[in-house]
Structure 1
């Protein structure tokens, strides 16, 4: 009985890990074209850019 329980728990852990690893991959693949379209639109229209604004502190290095 203990062996079956351990095998069942190991199988459940591996199935959970597979779902945990594959879910973000699918999300990034599906959202890539949408993110690219947003970036292109902001570059075309100049969205979120401030004329005469200071540089970001993380980009100043």
Structure 2
């Protein structure tokens, strides 16, 4: 009976370890996506700012 409980505890520990590893991987993936989207947002903002400057320059020439 005690061996059965020990086996069950060990199985639960393995499941917990796998669940934790899976969670950490998903968290890492999400953090990477956030950094990627932040970079995309910064690039788009830079392009918008450059286009605004170009438009202002063109308007001033006319």
TM-score (norm 2): 0.58
Q: Give the aligned partner of residue 19 of structure 1.
A: 29
5 Å-filtered alignment, 1:13-52, equals 13-46=23-56
- Judging by fraction of residues, say which structure has more helix: 2
- Relative contact order, higher structure (CA 8 A, sep 6+): 1
Listed as ranges, the gaps of 5+ residues in structure 1 are: 47-61
Q: Give the aligned partner of residue 57 of structure 1.
A: none
Q: Which has the larger radius of gyration?
A: 2
Aligned pairs, how many? 46
TM-score (norm 1): 0.59
Listed as ranges, the gaps of 5+ residues in structure 2 are: 1-10, 57-62
Structure 1 residue 31 displacement after superposition: 4.7
- Deviating above 4 A after TM superposition, structure 1's stretches of 4 or more consecutive aligned residues are none
